[in-house]
Structure 1
């Protein structure tokens, strides 16, 4: 992608646009507070849905829907063991992305939280599970 100096717009080839679409999908998959909490928890190691319910304080249906979304996006995988499924992150690079995001947030302070479009109201984060599980 290249920046057009005249109007400040990004321009690029179809391939670059496709890569941008994939990046948008990745960040959208992490944009829900419940999904992000699940990913952060799985960064510490695998867990079952029942573990996530207890640790995150979310309803079973919420956790199941969000885990399914993350699985469909290729970010989480399940390892069946008997009647249980242990979920884990599929790629260690996701941990690098989370660390980079935390570094960026620390460097910018509350700038993102104050964004009028995507920021949080009064600096508070939306309650997990209040957004749709998967669009």
Structure 2
């Protein structure tokens, strides 16, 4: 397997380091959606969601397509969906430790 540059890895992980971005990814995990649908799903505001979608696209986690006046967003591929699922699996094992950790608080 190719060795990934640590700075590139950190930029990628940055896409997962924000509550709103994780909520967006979870919203898109199964279906593509418009910004308005995502806003409704996670009870956010459109400007904020759009900014986070831009970050997620920049990190390669989300892609979009235009259809008429609507832009549809989706998780990039099955590997990203698998990653989101794997995070849940790992958290099942370490959830109590993570919940008690006071070093990584926003």
TM-score normalized by the length of structure 2: 0.89
The alpha-carbon deviation at position 16 of structure 1 amounts to 4.4
Q: Which has the higher helix share?
A: 2
The answer for the alignment partner of 1:122 in structure 2 is none
The answer for the alignment partner of 1:49 in structure 2 is 35
The alpha-carbon deviation at position 91 of structure 1 amounts to 2.2
1:34-45 correspondence to structure 2 within 5 Å: 34-45=20-31
Count of aligned positions: 105
The alpha-carbon deviation at position 73 of structure 1 amounts to 1.5
Per-residue CA deviation, residues 62-111 of structure 1 (Å, 9 max, x unaligned), is 11110111112221111101010010111211111111111111111321
RMSD: 1.7
* Partners of 1:44 and 1:64 in 2: CA distance: 19
**Unmatched segments (≥5 aa) in structure 1:** 1-14, 120-125, 127-135
Q: Bigger radius of gyration, 1 or 2? A: 1
The answer for the alignment partner of 2:100 in structure 1 is 114
* Partners of 2:4 and 2:60 in 1: CA distance: 20
* SS of equivalent residue, structure 1 residue 110: helix
**Unmatched segments (≥5 aa) in structure 2:** none
